[in-house]
Chain A
Amino acid sequence: MTFDKILGHDRQKDILRRALANGRLAHAYLFAGPDGIGKRMLAIELARAIVCHEQRGCGNCPACRKIDNQNHPDLHTLEPDGTSIKIEKVRAFQRELNLKPLEAPRKICLIDHAEMMTTGASNALLKTLEEPRGDTLLILLTDQPNRLLDTIRSRCQILPFTRHPNSRIQAELEKRLELNPTEAHVLAALSDGSFKKAFGKDRELYLEQRKTLLKTLTGLSTGSILQMLEFAEQISADKAILPDILEIFQAFYRDVLTTLHGRDTDELVNLDLKEKIFRVASKESIPGILTKLEALMTAQRQLDRNVNRQLAMEVMLLDLTA
């Protein structure tokens, strides 16, 4: 059946499938949901289903192959150049949209990271988005629907996507990467529902380094200022993985929080570190953990704003060890 290749998102697939079957496919869709969960894949699949000679995205006909090889003349994609989609690109895109489709029944346009459109670009798209040529299908993809203009959102049918349940990612990880269940569980939980993250390059960080990081973190005490400063220097050294490290800390303290509330242990992220979690939990109070989580979140926010990394980490660690 159409869309079978994509894992999960049954409801969204169902909606699109029925729309295709009922002939009620709208002219503009907005796929909104976290990064790396398959929105783009689904959009491509939808395109295949439309252009396919057999009307189902068979994958064998010339049209499907062209889509797969990204050289179908009627599939247009608009992607950010660096950090934004500029108005010139949108205008060029619109000129393209004024033409009739070459081979497919409809012209399909994909706008990835639609939230990156500048204000001018978004506004320039409005008229097209409201009343495009009859045979056009626009698909906007975004992970931050709130950053889009109201007027853009109102012109599209919004299809919200949710993250994958951890169990699904865990199963996939076990199957494809042959990880053991505990490792797969940890990785799945830390990837926060995103396949992109789970299968990304940071596996070693999430699995092995995590243990040493957490060991150092829990080893710190209020008095050990020097170690703490060293640790801050160490973790702030690599800008790219710092957010991931913070997520690891966050997951750990969340584990402690859930343990304090007496929840089942199978809800924990760090299944392999149960003892450590229990040990920390026995020393902590709920308000204390909440303050620590708050400190972590503040640090995350600050990192988004280009602060001095090491300083931010030092302050955060001071809060965490207090």
Chain B
Amino acid sequence: MAYLVLARKWRPQNFSDLIGQEHVSQTLANAIKSGRIHHAFLFTGARGVGKTSAARILAKALNCEVGLSDQPCGTCTSCLEITAGQGLDVLEIDGASNTGVDDVRELRENIRYLPNRSRYKIFIIDEVHMLSTNAFNALLKTLEEPPEHAKFIFATTEPHKIPVTILSRCQRFDFRKIPLVKVAARLRELADLEKLTVSDRSLALIARQGEGSMRDALSTFDQVLAFSGDQVEDDAVQTLLGMVDRRLLLDTVEAVLQRDCRRALDAVRRVDQLGLALRRFTQDLLEMFRGMVICTVVETPEEMLDLVGEELKELQLLAEDSSLEDLQRIVTLLLKTQTELATSASPMLTLEMSLVRLATLAPSQELGKLISHLESLEKRLATNPLPRSQGTPPRSVPEEPSPKKSEAPVITTTDERGWQGLVDQVKEKRPMLGSVLEHGRLLKLEPPLLEVGYPKNSFMLGQLQEPDICRDLEALAASYFGASVKLRVVPMEAEQKDAPPSLVETRQAKETDRMRRLREDALEHPALKSVQEIFDGKIKQVIPIDKGFV
């Protein structure tokens, strides 16, 4: 018999062996104990976390000859047969190879017959996400109400590919990724069982390689064992896993932070010479910078980094000299490089370019600092104005220029307010009428008399002379002023100069006036002047920030 890899040799044989999936095993065990066993289960989760194993254990528990229990005996014929994968009543179907509707029909043929000798006929369909739509649909009726002796167990890594109608007929169990510590503990257990000498550090490295998948970790462990036999040395593990030497990494990080392109390029060359994978190197580099980011933002980084002692201190030391913004930019760029490396035709060049770019990044300035710097500059200028800006009062922002009365057309304040208010009110209730009023020139507002002028022959004059509209307007004005109002519409000559301007005209005049003043103010502003001086800049455009601002 050929060598059996660890993942197969030590496949969990009962619920307690199933590492990291306590929530599943407990639920299943309790269901069995209380006799409330659903007829269809769906196991989902990432690769290598125990779905197929759980399915087989469940099958054993259901069919164990000793009796229905959460602790399958593992010694009866049924249990042995299932372990060997040749049980008559447990059919393990490869969903990805038997995808068609015909395969499902065959299964339905089969399901009618009673189990040969066990309690249940169990159908385990692995990789069930590959079944065709028709196959799934052909299964629906059977899955909803299967014969009493039938149980279904589905396992898949991609639950989103399964139709909702199937999902709703199954009891779904989501398998979690297995935490590093538990993987390492299990590896230790197996190492002891296999009588292997291996250090905890190596086991931790191997466990990390698995990224939450027990099978991946065990595959790696197998490879390590194949390489070094029963005595595993730390160095061998490190080279075998293609781990990049920490010194080399630190050197690269330093080169980048000190903006030393030469050293950075040298590092890439060394990595290449050592025959390490560039992607791996980038990944490790990224880890380092991530560590540094964490060191800067978290008080106690030990918990998040699983680093201790020297390694942590080195990182903290490096992180001290660099700003968070810089680190974040580096991480972003490296992430981009990493995806580029996967498709790049010349990965070495890609990495070189990215390191050069990192090392030549202009140091970033924190925005907050810049602003506070500007503010302090302004304050200094305010208390101690520059000689040539003495004419204008120093202001912190281009503040509202107070409307200069002399330029504005003369209307007495009360009148203006009253008129403006009235127009606003009318506009709210009768927008058309309001805009007509806006174009009119207020000649007299002495309640109860309201005189509005319009150019002769204008359309608006015609409109306001309609008795209906006139009446409406009078009513509105009366409600606004709280007294009855008599409206008089006066036709005017176009060139009549002495009449006050209409609201629209006033606004337009104000607008252009405002722009002019805004520009003047902005140009005279001391902060702007000093900025111009420091950066040797030119003013291209003055844009009002917001209409209501001035």
Contact = CB atoms under 8 A, between A and B. Distances in A.
A103 interface: no
Contact of A19 (B216, B226, B342, B352): B226
Q: State the 3 A-B residue pairs at the shortest beta-carbon distance, nearest first.
A: A123-B96, A19-B226, A127-B94
Contact of A300 (B97, B220, B228, B345): B345
A24 B242 CA distance: 20
Contacts of B47: 150-151, 154
Interface string A129-160: 01100110000000010100011011111111
Interface stretch (A52-60, A214-222, A250-258): A250-258
Contacts of B130: 120, 123-124
A154 B48 contact: yes
Contacts of A262: 262
Interface string B235-246: 000011010000
B215 interface: yes
A23 interface: yes
B89 interface: no
Contact of A146 (B157, B228, B342): B342
A124 B356 CA distance: 45
Given A154-B48, A254-B349, A94 B97 contact: yes
B215 A155 contact: yes
Contacts of A127: 94, 96-97, 126-127
Nearest to B269: A267
11 contacts: A11-B240, A14-B227, A19-B227, A26-B223, A26-B226, A126-B96, A153-B216, A156-B219, A159-B223, A247-B346, A286-B360
Contact of B213 (A124, A154, A257): A154
A267 B268 CA distance: 12
Given A120-B96, A297-B350, A131 B357 contact: no
Interface in A5-37: 11, 14-15, 18-19, 22-27
Given A18-B226, A150-B157, A157-B222, A25 B242 contact: no
A25 B5 CA distance: 8
Interface in B94-148: 94, 96-97, 99, 126-127, 129-130
Contacts of A146: 342
Nearest to B213: A154
A124 B219 contact: no
User: Taking chain A's interface residues, is the majority helix, strand, or loop, or is none over half, making it mixed?
Assistant: helix
Given A127-B96, A150-B47, A162-B276, A25 B356 contact: no
B240 A15 contact: yes
- Classify chain B: how many residues form its interface, as a range: 35 or more
A273 to B, nearest CB: 18
Contact of B353 (A120, A144, A159, A293): A293
Interface string B255-279: 0000001100110010011011100
Interface string A66-109: 00000000000000000000000001001000000000001000
B127 A157 contact: no
Contacts of A162: 275-277
B46 interface: yes
A257 B352 contact: yes
B346 A154 contact: no
A192 interface: yes
A126 B219 contact: no
A203 interface: no
Contacts of B99: 120, 124
Given A126-B127, A162-B277, 14 more contacts: A11-B275, A18-B227, A24-B3, A26-B222, A91-B97, A125-B96, A126-B94, A126-B96, A128-B94, A150-B47, A155-B219, A156-B219, A157-B5, A157-B219
| Most chain B CB within a 10 A radius of its CB, from A134, A155, A261 | A261
A26 B346 contact: no
Interface in A228-245: 243
B2 interface: yes
A258 B265 contact: yes
A11 B239 contact: yes
B356 A286 contact: yes
Nearest to B219: A157
A287 interface: yes
Contacts of A25: 2-3, 226
B264 to A, nearest CB: 9
Contact of A263 (B129, B265, B357): B265
Nearest to B5: A26
A281 to B, nearest CB: 14
A243 B276 CA distance: 26
A124 B129 CA distance: 11
Nearest to A160: B277
Nearest to B92: A127
B393 interface: no
A165 interface: yes
A173 B227 CA distance: 32
B73 interface: no
A18 B225 CA distance: 9
B85 interface: yes
B357 A250 contact: no
B12 to A, nearest CB: 15
A290 interface: yes
Contacts of A26: 3, 5, 219, 222-223, 226
A255 B2 CA distance: 52
Contact of B226 (A24, A261, A286): A24
A165 B319 CA distance: 35
A242 B129 CA distance: 42
Contacts of A131: 8, 85
Interface string B1-17: 11111001000000000
Contacts of A287: 360
Contacts of A19: 226-227
Interface string B494-506: 0000000000000
Contacts of B277: 160, 162
A155 B99 CA distance: 21
Nearest to B48: A154
Given A27-B2, A127-B97, A250 B346 contact: yes
B276 to A, nearest CB: 7
Contacts of B353: 257, 290, 293-294
A154 B352 contact: no
A261 B265 contact: yes
Given A126-B127, A154-B48, A243 B2 contact: no
A243 to B, nearest CB: 7
B2 A106 contact: yes
Interface in B188-239: 213, 215-216, 219-220, 222-223, 225-229, 239
